A and B are shown apart, each in its own frame.
Chain A
Amino acid sequence: MKIYHLFYITSLLINTACLEDRSFEIPFLKQQGLLIPDDQIVTIPALKMAWEQESNQELYPFLRLTQGYEDKFLEGYVISDDQQGNYYKAFFIQDDPESPQAGIKVLLDQTDISQRYDVGRRVLIQLSGLTVGLSSGVFALGLEDGGALSPVPTTHNGGVVQRDTLVSPISARTLNMENLGPQHTNMWIELSHTQFHRFQSLSLPPMTFAADAMDQYDGERWLEQCASGQYLVLKTSTYADFNTAVLPSDDFTIYGILQYDYFGEYFVLVINGPDDIVMGNSGRCDPLVLDCGPAPGLHPIVWGESFNQRENLSALMDSGWWAPDTNSEALLWSIGSYGGNKYLQITAEASDIALHESWLISPPLSKSVLGEILSIECDIQANFQRGIPLSFWITEQDPQDYSIDVQWDLLNYFIPNGPSDGFGDFKTMGPIDISCKTGETFYLGLRYKQRSVFDTTRYHIDNLRIRSP
């Protein structure tokens, strides 16, 4: 009896000690390819053509996909990835993984889209009841919402985006900045020998992708391509995981999707994550600057122009400043004022006509009067920044002498950056050493040259001063 008891108790103990093992095996994910007959598939180029033809592009560029689209699917390959937070409730597909003709932006009411629709996956999107049109300037698919497109719920029509088992690697289309056009939007492109503008990646401290003080919703940074001298805006969301990463200082090859900015005005490139920037080894291609040595200390000011005495630009001209009229009808320079302070202002309105280039040249400055060791300094405020069209030059030749080809040297400076949709703050630029210019007289030249029609940064320049010990 006792042994029986012992056995019984032991078995109870063992039974109690073991709670049912609740480990779960990984569920078996059934993968089935999508079997949609070809006559139900619409390609992106075909849809785009239908949209261009059947909608009123000027007044109301939207096409509602109802009749004839009840059983149609749009075919595409995913090229965007929102895992790093650079995309929100939208993803991009292009019609072919290797040689795409067109791409489309799909607005989907889901966060973490890449958890289901990863890069390279072939997807088929049910078109019935959706609308195609423009979203921030690019061809897009969504639900109509009062004259704009809004995200489609994922369960629309029982599952609006369907995954295929096919995942193809996406080949990037190599392009150059100078021949970018609207036909290249919504596609995965590659730009080689690219760098960030030196004022953004070589400044101290260098800028981040989207975590600087002036970045409100997006950070816009300037990519330059050495070969063309053109530039392209890189747009990163302030909600992206990598927004605090610092801009790389060397040259690289960059992959991304060409789009328009939020208001649909100028091109931007959007990357999926920092892995889309592949460092190169060609080195930077920054313009040559007049390098007279390290920045000098703060010597006393021997010459200055505060613009406070100038009523307007004509008054400035009367005091010796000169503006050669290069190719624009109206001079872009003016005297602005705010809070009792006057400053020199330069801006360009966007126009489809031509790219502005405008110079403003100082009166002759004499070394015998000012001193041998000279450095230049001024205060600059960058506003509504789109690109960096302003540059500072120096020459010893007479700019008004048309008989010679005047040689201008670019000064070694860093122009501060400002917000793209508002006013910045005045920041000091310099002092910049110009002592190695050996001539007796020299002239300062301010050049405002647009690299694209949307390059319309407005600069306020104040307190131009020259120091000498």
Chain B
Amino acid sequence: MLVARRLFILFVLFYVPMTTQLMGQSLGLTGRVLDQLNGAPISNALVALVGENQNITVTDQDGYFKISLTPNTAKTHVLIVQHEQYEAQNVPIKTDAQRRPIVIFLQWNTDEDMPISDTSYADLTDEGSFDLPFQPGPLQAKGDALTGAQAYDFGGVFYAPRGAARNQKQISIQGVPINDFYSGQASWDSFGGLNDALRQREIQEGFESANYSFGALGGHTDISVSAGNYRPGLKLKAIFSSKTYTRGYALFYRSGLKANGLSYALQWASRFGDGGYVSGNIYDGKSLLFALEKQINGANTLMLTGLYTPIIKGVSSPLTREVLDYHGARYNPNWGMQNGQIRNSKSRQTTQPLFILTYKNHSKGRLSYQINLATQFGLAKQTRLNYSGSSNPFKNYYQKLPSYFLKESPLGSYDYHMAFNARQNIEAQGQLNWQDLYMANGLHLNSGSSYIVQADVRQKQMTVAQALMRYRLNTLFEFRAKVWIRQEREHHYGQIDDLLGGLYYLDVNSFYRGSDPLGKWNDRQTPYRSNKVGAFIDYNFRWQGDQLGLFGQLQQTTEKWNYTAAFECTRNALMRKGLFQNGSFPSQGQSLGPSQRIVFSNIKFKLSGAINWSPRSFSRINTVYLTEPPIVKHTFVNMRQSNELVHGLKASTFHGVDVDYRYQGNSINARIAAYAQRQDDDTKIKTFFTEHAIAAQSGQALVHEIVQGIHTQSIGLQAGLSYDLSNRLALSTVMVFSEHNYSGTPLLYLGSDAFSDPQRPDRVLGSDLTARGKRKVYVNNYGVASGPRQIIHARLQYRDPNYWWAGLSFNHFSKRFADMSFLRRSADTYLDFDGVLNQNFDSNVVSSLLEQEDLGQVVLCHLTAGKSWRLKGKYMSLFLVVNNLLDVAYVSGGFEDSRIGSVFGLAEEADRPGGPLFGNRYFSGMGRSFYGSITLSF
């Protein structure tokens, strides 16, 4: 159908009892592959016979192919014909009847050659005070209007399908999941840039039936890297963009299946730039993938896959409305010029090579299996400027903004003068001044650096061993199982990246206000240590997690209906081991040494069914119940400094049901889906600096806000329709209406090294649990910040017989909410700084102060276009996408700043003549930006 998106080989399996045997001789099938538009032969197209055997060949210069059909197997085979310039075709072949040569016409592919990870927004820092948004992208697209729009058009507004969080999208490569335990997320940076090599995707939407995967709310995508399934050839690509990187090159070489059963593929890519849409976000990424495959005696395949994508990129920060109004969406306060080069104080570096060994057995018998061994190691590192104890040098620091000088009435001429001055400063220069930092360190060489660049490093190591099995009982029933062991070990530490002209650094916690003389040292074991570049500072710990898992699935398929019942159970064991003894946690076992071992056992159940109303229409229903342990990051109160576990840790549970109906006509493709779900007992930890930590002496502390028992409910309706107006023009439209809200009353408490027990001043607690208990958070019916709830999308695409195409999409997003602060809506909000309830509040005023901000409606238009040329068996194609054609200024997302944690603070902020000091912070959406590529395929 039109509105084409790249499809991976859909393994449609026909199950045949081993009752009939065909003639012993191998049968040959010949045929020719032609271009449907002009009838020209297509050479070097991949022709594969799908079934129990992997029979692959390639068309010759005139488009002819010959493929052998192995005997005594199926009544029908499926022939797949593939070439990236064209849409893949699945042709059913009846073995006994088909001896005549067949002619296959391939439709020209209007493919969106977008990179895997969506680049609709600049890379963001992961500071722990907000959730990184869901990552949509081509790994979402399944060929229908809805998933296509979700993949390509909804990125810039942080849309999340069914309100899924980032850790609810699962990615696996060769069947090996790459989501890690720590954050539950897949590290997109560990396979970026390999767009061409990772095109063989099996996309599972939500919890729908799939082969070996239970599914996830945000979907699951399994990427196969099978060298034998690539069409042999060489592809060269040049990329130009104005989004995150500005230039890129890629090379993709495939050997194709050789006579001896060996095949290999190699992709190399490089993307770089000095800052795309957002200034200062330098980008330098290299990617390398190799795949080696050997077919052993027809039924078994051994595959070795290796990926290595080292990348370093600058990162920007969310900004308040005041700063955005001065500087706009391209502003990034984190960088400054040094020696004529852009230097970004916040950058993220990932080097995590991944190796997977796969052994597949696809026998013609009932049983087939696969074994995977995988390992990934390396590090994920994020740098930041450490200025503890000195003044904040960033130009968007709140004390440097005009609002700071206009914060209190009555205002005198001095205040206006200072505000005017501040405004001139921020307008004239918003970037970091590196020279000032070097000077500050250089003038006081004897006392250690006041400013350093610190790296927060996660050294990762992951190994997985898994076995998959499929057993066919008969034509109707099929049983699949998967068993795995997964081990992850990580070493987290802070490290000095650059002393900025100083000679050494003293690893001191400059916020420590207690009376213990060793209390201010981040490692009491080695106080007064002068640290040089590369030394471990701030925190140092390891954690290890082990997972045992079992998955089982039963499928029954008939012509009229089919169903799938599946379960998955896992056992996770987790332990932390501190290597520093933090000054605020001196007691035995508090910070240094092993923590308690925590074990979670969880189970998931799902029942999916499908009814085929007619050959053209079918409905599906999925019902799911699952429990999931909190991610490692949300298991410990203050993982960097202490071993303390979150009190009353619980697994979260999920109940969900979704139904959909699809109709596939000649020129109409329609789909309508509805879902209802609830998630209970979720745990979230956010880290931020607040002025309302009542258990701290002055109320000010860096806290870890632990919220438990979070309940969310959502319902939604999604509809997609695509209609061919003619054989050149196609129209598609998508509508989404949904609600995604909090319900119930979660409980909150705070962890911090600033809390001490007033009864026992000699003891330092890591949290205010005993001092204040768990407080209720009143968030019923507030919206979860998961992107727009209502979307209207329309797309028009034109295909011209001269091999060019263009598409224009119109997208209207509304009902988008800022992520709210739990602390502000907890019982703490009515307390004065000394913990005494302040009765002077009017409930109307309180409601208006606690209203959740609606980020507004936004209309985004995107333009895509492509053209291909064919030059004697070689293809050249050009692809271009322009996002936000009308250059609309908008925010992608935003969140409330929990620094102000009480309604009194909020009322004070609302009264400030110059605007709030700690207003909501926003992620700007990109203005008009483009991405384009020129590809040469041989």
Q: Interface on A for B, CB 8 Å cutoff?
A: 9, 12-13, 15-17, 19-20, 22-29, 83, 109-112, 114-116, 118, 143-146, 150, 153, 155-156, 244
Contacts and interface: CB of A to CB of B under 8 A. Distances in A.
B501 A115 contact: no
7 shortest interchain CB distances as A-B pairs: A115-B440, A145-B414, A111-B391, A16-B286, A153-B421, A16-B288, A118-B443
Contact of B434 (A27, A153, A244): A27
Given A24-B339, A29-B439, A150-B414, A244 B515 contact: yes
Contact of B443 (A109, A114, A144): A114
Contacts of A109: 418
Contacts of A110: 391
Contacts of A83: 444, 447
Contacts of B424: 155
A35 to B, nearest CB: 20
11 contacts: A12-B266, A19-B286, A19-B312, A22-B282, A114-B444, A115-B390, A115-B440, A116-B440, A145-B413, A145-B414, A155-B425
Interface in B294-317: 308, 310-312
Interface in B482-525: 498, 501, 515
B286 A15 contact: yes
Contact of B435 (A29, A112, A155): A29
A115 B286 contact: no
Interface of B: 251, 266, 268, 270, 272, 282, 284, 286-288, 290, 308, 310-312, 338-339, 341, 343, 349, 351, 390-391, 412-414, 417-418, 421-422, 424-425, 434-436, 438-440, 442-444, 447, 450, 498, 501, 515
Contact of B308 (A16, A25, A143, A150): A16
Nearest to B510: A241
Given A12-B288, A153-B418, A24 B498 contact: yes
Given A16-B308, A27-B435, 15 more contacts: A12-B266, A12-B288, A17-B310, A19-B286, A23-B498, A26-B501, A27-B434, A28-B339, A29-B442, A111-B391, A112-B390, A112-B440, A146-B414, A153-B421, A155-B424
A419 B414 CA distance: 34
Nearest to A112: B391
Nearest to B268: A12
B505 to A, nearest CB: 15
Contact of B412 (A12, A29, A146, A244): A146
A145 B412 CA distance: 7
A111 B391 CA distance: 6
Contacts of B308: 16-17
A25 B266 CA distance: 37
A112 B450 contact: yes
A114 B446 CA distance: 14
Contacts of B312: 19-20, 22
A67 B639 CA distance: 62
A27 B500 CA distance: 9
A355 to B, nearest CB: 39
B409 to A, nearest CB: 14
Nearest to A9: B266
Nearest to A23: B498
A407 to B, nearest CB: 45
A27 B339 contact: yes
A399 B851 CA distance: 78
A156 B418 CA distance: 9
Contact of A19 (B310, B390, B442): B310
A19 B284 contact: yes
Contacts of B288: 12-13, 16
A27 B266 CA distance: 41
Contacts of B435: 27, 29
A146 B410 CA distance: 11
Contacts, number: 93
A165 to B, nearest CB: 12
A20 B283 CA distance: 10
B417 to A, nearest CB: 7
Which of A17, A20, A111, A112 gathers the greatest number of chain B CB atoms within 10 Å?
A: A112
A13 B343 CA distance: 27
Nearest to A17: B310
Nearest to B425: A155
A110 B422 CA distance: 12
Nearest to A163: B439
B341 A24 contact: yes
Nearest to B424: A155
Contacts of A144: 414
Nearest to A85: B389
Nearest to B414: A145
Given A12-B268, A83-B447, A27 B438 contact: yes
A97 B561 CA distance: 95
A238 to B, nearest CB: 10
Given A12-B268, A24-B339, A29 B440 contact: no
Contacts of A29: 435, 438-439, 442
A143 B391 contact: no
Contact of A16 (B268, B272, B414, B439): B268
A320 B105 CA distance: 127
B735 to A, nearest CB: 44
A197 B807 CA distance: 86
Contact of B438 (A16, A22, A26, A145): A26
A338 B424 CA distance: 57
Given A16-B268, A17-B310, A27-B339, A116 B439 contact: yes
A24 B338 contact: yes
A399 to B, nearest CB: 46
Contacts of A146: 412, 414
A111 B440 CA distance: 12
A299 B62 CA distance: 120
A453 B503 CA distance: 50
A156 B286 contact: no
A291 B422 CA distance: 64
A12 B418 CA distance: 56
Nearest to B428: A155
A144 B438 CA distance: 33
A153 B266 contact: no
A24 B343 contact: yes
Nearest to A156: B421
Nearest to B443: A118
Contacts of B498: 23-24
Contacts of A17: 308, 310
A20 B347 CA distance: 14
Nearest to B344: A22
A20 B342 CA distance: 14
B450 A115 contact: yes
A110 B447 CA distance: 20
A295 B307 CA distance: 80
Nearest to B533: A23
Contacts of A25: 339
Contacts of B390: 112, 115
Nearest to A26: B501
A26 B453 CA distance: 13
B343 A155 contact: no
A15 B287 CA distance: 10
Contact of A115 (B251, B343, B351, B443): B443
A223 B266 CA distance: 79
Contacts of B284: 19-20, 22
A6 to B, nearest CB: 11
A260 B234 CA distance: 82
Given A83-B444, A109-B418, A116 B436 contact: yes
Contacts of B311: 19
Which of A19, A25, A244 gathers the greatest number of chain B CB atoms within 10 Å?
A: A19
Contact of B421 (A16, A111, A150, A155): A155
A116 B393 CA distance: 13
B287 A27 contact: no
Contacts of B422: 153
A12 B289 CA distance: 10
Contacts of B425: 153, 155
A90 to B, nearest CB: 15
